[in-house]
C-alpha cells in the first residue's frame, strides 16, 4: 500500500511531538548534569526564560537571549553542589514550525547549607530550526516551594552527574 497524505501528516506530527519531548528531557538532563556546553544549544538565539514572578509568584528571575539565559543558568547551578530536575510527560501541541508545551516538574537542590525543593509547571514555546526544536521561551510557575532542610546524603553527587 502507498502512504496516504493523512498518514504522512500523522507521521510528521509524531516526529515533531517526539522532538519537542526530547528537548524537554534534554533540558532536565543538561540542567541536572550542569552541562554548560549542551545547555545553550537547547535555546533559540532570542529566547526568553522566566522563573516565577508573575501573579505574586516568589523568586523572580528573568533572562533574554541565549547568552543571558546561559549566564542565569550558570549562576543558579553554581550556587548548588547538588541539583536535580525531574520533568514529567506534558501536553504538547505542534502548529507548523512552532509548538507549545505545558509540563509538570520537580526540583531538588542543596549546597552551602541551603536547601531548595519545588513542584511547578513549565509553559514553553518551541521553534523548529535546522538543528531541531529549540526553546523560544520557558516560563516556570511555582506550585510549591520549600527551603527547609532535608535529610540524606548527596556528598558524592558534586559536579557532573553523567
**Cβ neighbour number for residue 47 with a 10 Å cutoff:** 23
Cell of 5: 497524505
CB of 7 to a second copy, least distance (A): 6
Which of 67, 71, 79, 89 is close enough to bind a second copy by CB under 8 A?
A: 89
- Residue 44 lies near a second copy (rule: CB under 8 A): no
Q: Measured in whole angstroms, how far is the alpha carbon of residue 139 from the centre of its chain?
A: 9
CB of 10 to a second copy, least distance (A): 6
Which of 40, 64, 119, 132 is close enough to bind a second copy by CB under 8 A?
A: 119
CB 49 within 8 Å of CB 69:
yes
Cross-strand partners of 126: 99, 135
Among 92, 103, 108, 90, which Cα is nearest to 150's? 108
Stretch that binds a second copy, among 39-47, 61-69, 124-132, 142-150 (CB under 8 A): 142-150
Cell of 24: 524537554
DSSP, res 72: H
Residues near a second copy (CB under 8 A) are 1-5, 7-8, 10-11, 14-15, 17-18, 21-22, 24-26, 28-29, 32, 55-58, 82, 84-92, 102, 104, 106, 108, 117, 119, 121, 123, 141-148, 150-154, 156-157, 161-162
Amino acid at each position: 500500500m502507498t502512504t496516504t497524505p493523512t498518514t504522512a501528516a500523522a507521521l510528521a506530527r509524531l516526529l515533531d511531538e517526539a522532538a519537542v519531548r526530547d528537548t524537554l528531557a534534554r533540558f532536565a538532563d543538561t540542567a541536572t548534569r550542569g552541562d554548560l556546553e549542551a545547555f545553550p544549544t537547547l535555546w533559540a538565539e532570542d529566547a526568553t526564560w522566566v522563573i516565577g514572578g508573575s501573579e505574586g509568584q516568589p523568586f523572580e528571575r528573568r533572562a533574554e537571549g541565549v547568552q543571558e539565559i546561559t549566564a542565569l543558568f550558570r549562576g543558579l547551578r553554581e550556587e548548588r553542589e547538588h541539583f536535580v530536575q525531574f520533568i514529567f510527560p506534558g501536553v504538547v501541541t505542534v502548529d507548523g514550525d512552532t509548538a507549545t508545551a505545558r509540563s509538570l516538574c520537580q526540583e531538588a537542590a542543596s549546597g552551602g547549607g541551603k536547601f531548595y525543593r519545588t513542584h511547578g509547571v513549565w509553559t514553553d514555546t518551541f521553534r523548529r530550526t535546522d538543528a531541531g526544536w529549540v526553546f523560544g521561551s520557558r516560563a516556570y510557575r511555582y506550585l510549591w516551594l520549600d527551603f527547609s532542610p532535608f535529610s540524606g546524603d548527596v556528598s558524592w553527587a558534586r559536579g557532573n552527574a553523567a
